[in-house]
Structure 1
Amino acid sequence: MRPQPLLRLFEIFARYDRPARVFRAVIEPRKPRHRMARVLLAVTGVVVLGVLAVAAIAIGAVMILGGIGWRLLRRSPTAAAPRDRVLDGDYRVVPRAMLSR
């Protein structure tokens, strides 16, 4: 492990006296001061968000279509035949006294 990142972190801790300031200094993203840099950063963020959304929709569509295709390919010709068969059985009515406890 390189000591440089640890030394930088220790320098940041040494600069600030309160832990909240240290945490905020380490985690908080910095906004550029230049107006065009801010606009460029915002446009880049929106483009990245759009690309991720389109990719997620495309992956979801491929998964749904793949599942439908898989189901159609796995269907056997004998799977549709059992609808013609009739299941017979004998039934009797159970008195209500036997059901309640």
Structure 2
Amino acid sequence: MSAFRRPVFFRNIRFASFAAPRRPRHPMLRIVLGVVGVGLLLALLFLGLFVGVAMLAAGMLWRLWSQRGKPITRSARAGSIDGTYRVVGKAQLPLAR
């Protein structure tokens, strides 16, 4: 006998049917609730996408606003890295004996 079938776990019989999710038996009601569920899912997806795009746009505007008035620095040779270097010769293995 399972531990969950004991009467200890069914003390509140009034709420047992409320807590158990059951699909409606009427086929038209099933279809309507399915369409409502899919519509709710699409609405939440659209809302989340809209909020995400709005947050990205607000962040970009904030960054542009904070850089307002600062000069844009450009290097003398754009796209190149300045530095010192040395040529390393080809590695040679020691003579094997």
Counterpart mapping for 1:89-100 below 5 A: 89-97=83-91
TM-score normalized by the length of structure 1? 0.55
For residues 8 and 29 of structure 2, what CA distance do their matches in structure 1 show? 27
1:75 is aligned to 2:67: yes
User: What value does the CA root-mean-square deviation take over the aligned residues?
Assistant: 3.2
Following superposition, the deviation at residue 62 of structure 1 comes to 0.6
Aligned residues: 76
In our comparison, the structure showing a higher alpha carbon Rg is: 2
Task: Provide, for residues 43-78 of structure 1, a one-character-per-residue CA deviation record: whole Å limited to 9, x for no partner.
Answer: 210121121111111011112212221221222523
Runs of 5+ consecutive residues of structure 2 not aligned to the other structure = 1-6, 12-18
Runs of 5+ consecutive residues of structure 1 not aligned to the other structure = 1-7, 13-26
Higher helix share: 1
- Which moves more between the two structures, 28-37 or 38-47? 28-37
Q: In 2 relative to 1, CA 34–84 (structure 1 residues): closer, same or farther, beyond 3 Å?
A: same
TM-score normalized by the length of structure 2? 0.57
- Which structure is higher in RCO with an 8 Å CA cutoff and minimum separation 6? 1
